[in-house]
């Protein structure tokens, strides 16, 4: 610890030192009362090669707040850390790097060599994200750090795949799948994002070829509307609505597919919308999900015209080898030249894009592995409906349920190299399909040794779905799994409800028989200060580590915590707002310096028996604070919790109590007790603040006298609970009367521009003569009172200087007293008259409003008693004040 506490808090040094101190002390490991159930959170695993962004900082700060709170509250607490291999994202990164530095592609290297390079990459950067999480104070049990591709987790993946296969819940099928031609792999529905795009609707003539229709009346061609002309190369029919009279006689005839020599039939299907486009749809079974269904219904041939890298294949005739963009241009040019292109209309429509690279996806018929979802979804739906899994805020349940109830089978195969290889082998001798738990050496059917493993890997989310139990040792029944599963809370942003949260829930239920957590605490996304999404390409990303460096990690965390409201959706992060929280940290730092300096070298500590009114006030406020903060944390109202601690420390403790304590310290009769209360209050405030601002609180706490501290570290200190014996409501209210008086006099002096140093004599008229008399020092010190005379309120005679008697007198009416100050030379009499008139008026109207309210029988009869009596009290008070004013 530093010898002398400097004037400003220096975060960087304190952060590194205290984090190391916690790590060495093993404080992040589950400890606490073995009788209590454990409290577990699994971290949403960041990409192993990723960098900490503001979203991570936010999400993990919230988790750390919960974890630190529960740890202090005595639960054996585990925050399970880990990283994700993030298949496509990582592979793309490494490929880009290889291209840039070595000018080689993954194909140049070959599969095994490439994967080795990715592992190298992982070794190199895998610790970076962990270090960054540690920088922001994450108190994970790092010894348990897991990785989705480590041995244990890979075994869990294998077990799940094989058992789903054995249950018939995994199958291989050919169907339309979204392929990202840039990433060159299939995607699941959840990985496709739809973007509103300005496109065009092309009207193309398809000549009718059936002989009997060579009708001069004008059935020489049929017009088809399409947004994607290049796919016409794969058309195997055109369709019209069965009841569309315009085309009725064409049904069953054939048309010539322009640019090709193929004749295709005209069919009728009610999938066609008569009012849209030309009322005729080209049917391209292999490149459109709806067309695929139509083709199945009508037994149309399927014709695949594209490769997974987005080029036209040999089925595209002379267009083969062109990219889809080139093909579109070429087809349009040829249609135009051939006189087939009737017209082109602008057309807005949604285009599916890859969630990773945001290039348009290509729906394409292909062979993929699917997880059959119907059976898995059912118990995952009831788990939420029956309340075994709760969403906070609740409204996210609807999103979850809607998706789960309409869930489609999950395409889990990916045509990339980095990931869990699909554990399926085919015997090249007898064709047997083998899906084993251990890698096979020979075909179990024919004994043949020519086994070929499926080249694909699994969707990254396949392993993420198992995260809450695979990290704890499943499928083995390890002590960790036994003790910490199911976990408690999952904290994440709403944008991965489908990708991750939903899949964890059904996976947990299916494979462990238990919901993986009882609460899903969802938050929104952080946007920039203009409300725009943060992104690398827009360059508007905020680097959390830069913020932490500039303002201190605790300041960043406090700001993030106040953003964590349950109401709204996304939040704006305004970097300059960190300043306020940095200032707060500095305030706390200096208040602590004051407390420590006033303690001197006393190390003894007991809560004193005899307390002053201000002592009782702050202690009572503190009890309320403990109660409030605990409740807010339990309800996931992290913003309210942090705001209340901050406001207590700043507004109550620093601005009032410390100022009052300065007086008490000068008085030998109260000095000792004051030291104790200063210390007591600070210590509890530090505990309440610790989950939000762990570094500065630990730093200060370590400087407190041993007598107040319980244990060796604040991180492991007991979470406070309110003590009833320390609630002094009456005394606290009395203190408020004194404070009100100070505030009122300060305000008036300020308003009248009385020089701050100029003392004034006070005449205090109050029924609380004893109270005001014994605390006159407060007025001298905090409100520049000089001579003070205290008298009971003058009811009838004029034995005391009557307020009306002097025009140079300023009268200040507060809740407990009337203060009269002779400020002759300073008073602008006319202005003072006007001011009094105004005050009278406002009190008068207030009284009127209240009287109407209280004379309304509806109110007095129906409103709760406490509300009515409070209003009565207020009225009485106002009337009293009015009396004093007039």
Contacting RNA within 604-663 (CB under 7 A): 637, 639-640, 643, 650, 654-655, 658-659, 662
| Number of other CB atoms surrounding residue 368 within 10 Å | 22
Site for RNA contains 587 (CB under 7 A):
yes
Residue with tokens 């827009």: 538
144-163 residues in contact with RNA (CB under 7 A) are: none
- Give, as ranges, the residues between 754 and 773 that touch RNA (CB under 7 A): 755-757
Q: Cα–Cα distance between 390 and 15 in angstroms, integer? A: 35
Q: What is the dihedral of CA 267, 270, 275, 276, to 10 degrees?
A: -70
One residue of 248, 433, 747, 798 binding RNA per CB under 7 A = 747
Select from 298, 437, 483, 593 the one that contacts RNA (CB under 7 A). 593
- Residue 215, judged by CB atoms within 10 A of its CB (0-12, 13-18, 19+), counts as exposed
CB closer to RNA, 1 vs 597: 597
Rounded to a whole number, what is the distance in angstroms from the first to the last CA of the chain? 61
Residue placing its CB nearer to RNA in the complex, 204 or 422: 204
3-state secondary structure 111-150: HHHHHHHHHHHHHHHHHHHHHHHHHCCCCCCHHHCEECCC
Strand 489-493 versus strand 519-523 pairing type: parallel
User: Look-up: residue for tokens 């349940």?
Assistant: 397
The residues, any chain, with a CB within 8 Å of residue 616's CB and separated by 6 or more, are 728, 731, 732, 735
3-state secondary structure (DSSP) of residue 484:
helix
Q: Which of residues 863-882 bind RNA (CB under 7 A)?
A: 863-864, 867, 874
Cα separations in angstroms, 780 against 424, 621, 749, 766, 790 = 86, 25, 14, 17, 14
Note whether 406 binds RNA by CB under 7 A. yes
The answer to the question of residue 225 lying near RNA (CB under 7 A) is yes
| Residues contacting RNA: total by CB under 7 A | 89
Nearer to RNA, 220 or 747 (CB): 747
Contact 291, 283 (CB under 8 A): yes
**Shortest Å distance, C-beta 544 to RNA:** 17
Binding piece for RNA, criterion CB under 7 A, among 377-385, 561-569, 617-625, 816-824: 561-569
Residue 602: closest CA among 683, 657, 679: 679
Q: Decide if residue 264 touches RNA (CB under 7 A).
A: no
Closest CA to 490 of 122, 138, 16, 60: 60
Strand partners, 80: 42
When computed from its CA atoms, the radius of gyration of the chain, rounded to whole angstroms, is: 37
Check residue 358 for interaction with RNA (CB under 7 A): no
- Between 442 and 863, CB nearer to RNA: 863
Q: Which of 105, 477, 774, 856 binds RNA (CB under 7 A)?
A: 856
> What are 361's two structure tokens?
């996806």
Q: How far is the CB of 119 from RNA (least distance, A)?
A: 33
Select the residue interacting with RNA from 297, 758, 833, 862 (CB under 7 A).
Answer: 862
- Closer by beta carbon to RNA, 435 or else 696: 696
Q: What Cα–Cα distance (Å) separates residue 549 from each residue in 12, 578, 589?
A: 7, 11, 18
Per DSSP, the three-state class of 692 is: coil
Among 12, 529, 535, 602, binds RNA (CB under 7 A): 529
- Span of 36-44, 435-443, 446-454, 591-599 interacting with RNA by CB under 7 A: 591-599
Q: What are the CA-CA distances from residue 778 to residues 582, 672, 811 (Å)? A: 31, 18, 19
* Nearer to RNA among residue 5 and residue 48 (C-beta): 5
Which residues sit opposite 830 in a β-bridge?
none
In the window 267-306, what residues touch RNA (CB under 7 A)?
Answer: 271-282, 289-290
d(CA 410, CA 192): 13
Strand partners, 810: 821
Of 377, 591, 686, 817, the residue at the interface with RNA (CB under 7 A) is 591
Q: Tell me if 831 contacts RNA by CB under 7 A.
A: no
Q: Of 219, 302, 429, 570, which one interacts with RNA (CB under 7 A)? A: 570
Q: To which residue do tokens 């075909």 refer?
A: 443
CA distance 591 to 652: 12
Q: What are phi and psi of 198, to 5 degrees?
A: -80, 115
Nearer to RNA, 7 or 725 (CB): 7
Task: Show the binding pattern over residues 463-502: x = contacts RNA (CB under 7 A), - = does not.
Answer: --------------------------------x--x----
3-state secondary structure of 239: strand
402 binds RNA (CB under 7 A): yes
From 73-81, 372-380, 400-408, 424-432, give the range in contact with RNA by CB under 7 A: 400-408
Site for RNA in 658-717 (CB under 7 A): 658-659, 662
Distance in Å, CB of 565 to RNA, minimum? 4
CB of 324 to RNA, least distance (A): 14
CB 158, min distance to RNA, A: 30
Q: Which is nearer to RNA, 424 or 504 (CB)?
A: 504
User: Binder to RNA among 127, 227, 308, 453 (CB under 7 A)?
Assistant: 227
Q: Which is nearer to RNA, 569 or 707 (CB)?
A: 569
Distance CA 584, CA 678 (A): 18
Q: Figure out which of the listed residues 56, 68, 228, 253 binds RNA, where binding follows CB under 7 A.
A: 228
User: According to DSSP H, which parts of 441-539 are helical?
Assistant: 460-464, 467-470, 479-484, 502-512
- Residue 315 binds RNA, judged by CB under 7 A: no
If one asks whether residue 566 binds RNA (CB under 7 A), the answer comes out as yes
Position 350 contacts RNA (CB under 7 A) = yes
Q: Which residues of 770-807 are buried (b: 16+ CB within 10 A; e: fewer)?
A: ebbeebbebbeebbbbeebebeeeeeeeeeeeebeeee
Interaction residues for RNA, span 180-209 (CB under 7 A): 189-190, 193-194
Region 380-399 residues binding RNA, contact defined as CB under 7 A: 395, 398-399
Residue placing its CB nearer to RNA in the complex, 97 or 634: 634
Answer yes or no whether residue 8 interacts with RNA by CB under 7 A.
Answer: yes
743 binds RNA (CB under 7 A): yes
Residues composing the chain? 886
User: In terms of CB distance, is 460 or 741 closer to RNA?
Assistant: 741
Exposure class string for 692-707: b at 16+ Cβ within 10 A, else e: bbbbbbbbbbbebbee
Strand 341-354 versus strand 263-268 pairing type: unpaired
Q: Is 531 in the site for RNA (CB under 7 A)?
A: yes
From CA 654, how far away is CA 672, in angstroms rounded?
Answer: 19
Closer to RNA by CB, 424 or 571: give it: 571
Nearer residue to RNA within complex by CB, 326 or 846: 846
| Nearer to RNA (CB atom), residue 119 or residue 271 | 271
Window 809-828: residues binding RNA (CB under 7 A):
none
- The least CB distance from residue 257 to RNA, in Å, is 14
Minimum CB distance to RNA smaller for 290 or for 426: 290
CB of 536 to RNA, least distance (A): 17
């Amino acid at each position: 610890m530093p010898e002398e506490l400097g004037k400003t808090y220096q975060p960087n040094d304190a952060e590194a030192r205290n984090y190391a101190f916690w790590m060495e002390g093993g404080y992040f490991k589950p400890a606490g009362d073995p009788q209590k159930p454990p409290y577990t959170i699994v971290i949403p695993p960041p990409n192993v090669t990723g960098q900490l962004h503001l979203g991570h900082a936010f999400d993990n700060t919230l988790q750390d707040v919960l974890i630190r709170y529960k740890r202090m509250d005595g639960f054996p607490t585990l925050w399970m850390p880990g990283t994700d291999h993030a298949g496509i994202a990582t592979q793309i990164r490494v490929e880009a790097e290889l291209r840039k530095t070595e000018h080689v592609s993954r194909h140049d290297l070959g599969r095994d060599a490439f994967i080795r390079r990715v592992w190298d990459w992982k070794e190199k950067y895998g610790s970076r994200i962990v270090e960054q999480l540690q920088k922001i104070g994450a108190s994970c049990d790092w010894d348990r750090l897991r990785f989705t591709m480590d041995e244990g987790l890979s075994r869990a993946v294998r077990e799940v795949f094989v058992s789903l296969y054995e249950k018939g819940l995994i199958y291989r099928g050919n169907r339309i799948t979204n392929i990202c031609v840039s990433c060159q792999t299939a995607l699941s529905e959840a990985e496709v994002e739809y973007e509103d795009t300005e496109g065009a609707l092309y009207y193309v003539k398809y000549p009718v070829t059936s002989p009997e229709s060579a009708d001069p009346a004008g059935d020489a061609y049929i017009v088809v509307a399409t947004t994607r002309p290049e796919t016409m190369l794969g058309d195997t029919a055109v369709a019209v609505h069965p009841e569309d009279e315009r085309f009725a006689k064409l049904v069953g005839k054939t048309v010539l597919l322009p640019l090709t020599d193929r004749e295709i039939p005209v069919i009728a299907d009610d999938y066609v919308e008569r009012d849209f486009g030309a009322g005729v749809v080209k049917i391209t079974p292999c490149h459109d999900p709806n067309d695929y269904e139509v083709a199945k219904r009508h037994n149309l041939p399927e014709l695949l015209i594209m490769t997974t890298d987005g080029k036209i294949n040999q089925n595209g005739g002379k267009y083969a080898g062109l990219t889809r963009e080139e093909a579109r241009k070429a087809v349009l040019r040829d249609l135009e030249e051939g006189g087939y292109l009737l017209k082109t209309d602008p057309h807005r429509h949604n285009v599916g894009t890859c969630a990773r690279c945001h290039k348009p996806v290509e729906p394409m018929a292909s062979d993929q592995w699917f997880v059959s979802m119907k059976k898995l979804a059912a118990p995952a739906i009831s788990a939420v409906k029956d309340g075994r899994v709760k969403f906070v805020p609740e409204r996210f349940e609807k999103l979850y349920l809607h998706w789960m109830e309409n869930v489609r089978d999950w395409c889990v195969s990916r045509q990339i190299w980095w990931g869990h290889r699909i554990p399926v082998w085919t015997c090249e001798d007898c064709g047997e399909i083998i899906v084993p738990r251990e890698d096979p050496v020979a075909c179990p059917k024919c004994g043949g040794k020519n086994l070929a493993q499926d080249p694909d890997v699994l969707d990254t989310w396949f392993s993420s779905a198992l995260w809450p139990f695979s990290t704890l040792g499943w499928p083995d029944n390890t002590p960790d799994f036994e003790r910490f599963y199911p976990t408690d809370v999952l904290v994440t942003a709403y944008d991965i409800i489908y990708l991750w949260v939903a899949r964890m829930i059904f996976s947990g239920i299916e494979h462990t028989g238990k919901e993986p957590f009882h609460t899903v605490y969802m938050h929104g996304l952080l946007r920039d200060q203009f409300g725009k999404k943060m992104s690398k390409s827009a360059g508007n990303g905020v680097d959390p580590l830069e913020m932490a460096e500039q303002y201190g990690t605790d300041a960043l965390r406090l700001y993030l915590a106040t953003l964590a409201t349950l109401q709204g959706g996304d939040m704006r992060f305004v970097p300059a707002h960190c300043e306020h929280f940095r200032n707060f940290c500095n305030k706390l730092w200096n208040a602590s310096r004051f407390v420590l300096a006033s303690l001197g070298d006393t190390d003894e500590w007991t809560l004193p028996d005899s307390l002053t009114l201000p002592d009782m006030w702050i202690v009572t406020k503190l009890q309320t604070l403990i109660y409030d903060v605990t409740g807010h944390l339990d309800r996931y109202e992290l913003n309210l919790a942090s705001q209340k601690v901050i406001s207590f420390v700043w507004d109550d403790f620093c601005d009032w109590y410390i100022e009052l304590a300065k007086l008490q310290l000068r008085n030998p009769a109260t000095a000792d007790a004051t030291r104790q209360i200063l210390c007591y209050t600070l210590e509890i405030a530090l505990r309440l603040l610790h989950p939000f601002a762990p570094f500065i609180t630990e730093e200060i706490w370590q400087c407190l006298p041993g007598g107040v501290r319980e244990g060796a570290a604040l991180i492991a200190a007991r979470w406070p609970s309110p003590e009833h014996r320390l609630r002094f409501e009456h005394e606290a209210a009395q203190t408020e009367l004194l404070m009100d008086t100070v505030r009122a006099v300060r305000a008036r002096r300020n308003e009248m521009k009385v020089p701050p140093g100029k003392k004034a004599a006070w005449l205090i008229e109050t029924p609380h003569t004893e109270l005001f008399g014994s605390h006159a020092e407060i007025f001298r010190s905090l409100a520049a009172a000089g001579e003070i005379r205290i008298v009971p309120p003058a009811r009838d005679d004029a034995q005391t200087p009557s307020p009306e008697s002097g025009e140079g007198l300023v009268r200040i009416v507060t809740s407990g007293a009337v203060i009269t100050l002779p400020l002759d030379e300073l008073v602008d009499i006319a202005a003072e008259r006007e001011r009094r008139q105004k005050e009278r008026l406002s009190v008068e109207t207030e009284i009127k409003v209240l009287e109407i309210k209280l004379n309304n029988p509806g109110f007095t009869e129906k409103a709760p008693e406490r509300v009515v009596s409070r209003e009565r009290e207020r009225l009485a008070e106002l009337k009293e004040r009015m009396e004093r004013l007039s």
